[in-house]
Structure 1
Amino acid sequence: MGYYLRRTAQAILTLIIVVSITFVLFRLMPGGPIQAMKNRLIRQAAATGTAVNIDRINEMVELYTGIMPDQPIYIQYINYLRDIILYQDFGESIRYSQPVFDILFEAMPWSVFISVYGLALGYTANILLGAVMAYKEGSRFDQISTVGSIFLNSIPYYVGAIVLLAIFAYDLEWFPTGGRYNTDLDPGFNVFFMISILRHAALPILSGFIVGFGGRALSMRGNSVRILGEDYLRVARLRGISSTRIATRYVARNAILPMYTNLMIGISAIFSSSVILEYIFTYPGVGWFTFGALKARDYPLLMGSFLFFTTITIIGILIADFTYGIVDPRASTGDQDEAF
């Protein structure tokens, strides 16, 4: 129990440190977002011939960012954390004139949908391919698959996304070129709407499937080949244990273990890559809003998106810490002085 409490405390501390560093950079860097927003509002007031009211400008900055510019920085920081923790108030988006939390909360399920499915399909395919490559080590299939895996792993994910969009959406017109679903349909739990969601998500999911494809297959192959040479497998064969049981209970399970932590961390990686993927496919998820906020200098929305990605990363690592001992009972839970 002490191990889990320590890990949870470390995760919370890490999140607070990241938020603190981001807040300080956000507030104090020369010509930073707060000052830039303040200057923009002053210019807008001057352009319309309205008298510049600094108090009113400061109130508008606080409305958008949750930060009162004239307050001491430690007061700003306390108020900022209070608004996030107690009220889930990340400020208001300059571009959309909506609360940042509402925008991200509405977009999050769509990003989770395409990211998790892409990651799950990618890992499943890579594990199966790597296992077959190891089983047929040295064969023509192994050689061709190795070369193909290295080639696919060297292609940037955004290049693959653009190629898929150009071929399957624009040339063949098999899939839509953007959006989350057909806006002509009535949203709801009906067949046509569900099919529309799947058709619009197909290319982003396939792109997520391609991200890192090949590299994980080579890792699985290397782990499996190493395990195939272990003495306990020779003993298992001498005991007359079937090849199927050896492949599933001995080889596959032990070969997957080193990839488990990478799977959890890969969740955050797939979310971060979605910033470009969602923009390419015009898929309004968290990544799409993040890219738009970056272009429009929508700092409150950009800050909220950054905290979202940070939280996802920390949660993924925390889940890996908590569950690795279940996946591999040989690993210590940290209650003893063992490194793992």
Structure 2
Amino acid sequence: MRYFVKRVVHAAVTLVSVTTITFALFRLMPGNPAQAMRAQFEADMEAGGGTADPEVLDAMVEQHIGFNPDQPWYIQYVEYLRDIILYQDFGQSYFYNEAVFDILFTAMPWSIFISVYGLALGYTTNILLGAAMAYKEGSRFDNYATVLATFLNSVPYYVGAILFLAFFGYELGLFPTGGRYNTDLQTGLNVRFMASISYHAVLPVMSSFIVGFGGGALSMRGNSIRILGEDYLRVARLRGISSTRIATRYVARNAILPLYTQMMIGIATVFSSSVLLEFIFTYPGVGWYTYDAVMRRDYPLLMGSFLFFTIVTLIGILIAEFTYGLVDPRIGSGDHSESY
């Protein structure tokens, strides 16, 4: 129990540290959020023919950014943490004029949808392909598959996304080039709407698939080949255990273990890659709003997005740490258990 509490405390300290550094950098860098918002509000009011009253501008800045810009940054930080912990208030997006929490909470399921499916598809293919490559070690199939896996592992996900969009979206017109679903359909749990969601997610999911594919297949191949040379497999064959049971219970189960931690931590990689991925496909998830916040200098929304990615990363690491002992009972769990 003490071990689990210790790991959670470490994760909490990491989260607070990242939040503190990010908050301080946003406030201390030239052109801080308060100045940027004030200039934007002033330009908008003058463009509409109004007068930019300094008191009105100060009130608008404080309302949207969630802190008093005249206070020291450390006081602003304490109040920011207080609002998050007690009221789940991450501030208000000054561009969308909505609460940051509401925006991210609405966008989160869509990012999870395309990211998790892409990751699951990638690692499932990795396991199957890597096992087949190890079984056919030295064959023509193994050589060709190794070249393919190495090539795909070196292709950046955004390059794959652009190619998918250009070829399957614009050239062939087989899939939509943007959006999460057909806005003309009635939303809800009906067949047409759910089919539209799946149809619009094909290209983003295939691009996420590239993130998790390639390197895992090579790792699975190497692990399987190493295990195939172990003495206990020779003993299993001498005992007359069937090849199917040896392949599934001995080889695959042990070879897949190193990929487990890689997959759990890879969840954070997939979510972080969604920033460009969702922008390319105009898919309004957390990544799309993060990119939009950077372009529009929407600091409250950007800060909330960074917190989201940090939390997802820490959750992935904690899940890998806490469950690795269940996946591989040989390592146990406790102070001597390390999965990353």
Letter in 2 for 1:280: I
Report the counterpart of residue 234 of structure 2 in structure 1.
234
Offset of residue 37 of structure 1: 2.2
Q: Which 4+ runs in 1 deviate beyond 6 A?
A: none
Report the counterpart of residue 322 of structure 1 in structure 2.
322
Deviations 1:226-265 (A, max 9, x none): 1111111111111111111111111111111111111111
Offset of residue 278 of structure 1: 0.7
- In the alignment, is residue 103 of structure 1 matched against residue 103 of structure 2? yes
Offset of residue 74 of structure 1: 2.7
- Mind listing any 5+ residue stretches in structure 1 that lack a counterpart? none
- Is contact 2:212–2:266 with CA below 8 Å preserved after alignment? no
Letter in 2 for 1:269: T
Report the counterpart of residue 191 of structure 1 in structure 2.
191
Offset of residue 156 of structure 1: 1.3
Report the counterpart of residue 60 of structure 2 in structure 1.
60
Letter in 2 for 1:264: M
**Cα distance change on mapping 1:134 and 1:162 into 2, 3 Å:** same
Deviations 1:115-166 (A, max 9, x none): 0000001000011000000000001100010011111111111111111111
Report the counterpart of residue 162 of structure 1 in structure 2.
162
What is the number of residues matched between the two proteins?
Answer: 338
**Cα distance change on mapping 1:338 and 1:192 into 2, 3 Å:** closer
What secondary structure does 2:96 align onto? coil
- In the alignment, is residue 85 of structure 1 matched against residue 79 of structure 2? no
Q: Distance in 1 between matches of 2:338 and 2:189?
A: 49
Report the counterpart of residue 284 of structure 1 in structure 2.
284
Q: Distance in 1 between matches of 2:96 and 2:52?
A: 26
Q: Distance in 1 between matches of 2:284 and 2:222?
A: 38
- Is contact 1:26–1:34 with CA below 8 Å preserved after alignment? no
Return the TM-score normalized by structure 2. 0.95
- In the alignment, is residue 270 of structure 1 matched against residue 282 of structure 2? no
Report the counterpart of residue 70 of structure 1 in structure 2.
70
Percent identity over the alignment is 69
Offset of residue 34 of structure 1: 2.6
- Mind listing any 5+ residue stretches in structure 2 that lack a counterpart? none
Letter in 2 for 1:52: D
- Is contact 1:134–1:222 with CA below 8 Å preserved after alignment? yes
Q: Distance in 2 between matches of 1:42 and 1:195?
A: 45
**Cα distance change on mapping 1:30 and 1:171 into 2, 3 Å:** closer
**Cα distance change on mapping 1:184 and 1:44 into 2, 3 Å:** closer
Report the counterpart of residue 312 of structure 2 in structure 1.
312
Q: Distance in 2 between matches of 1:25 and 1:49?
A: 33
Deviations 1:27-56 (A, max 9, x none): 112332233223443455566562532x43
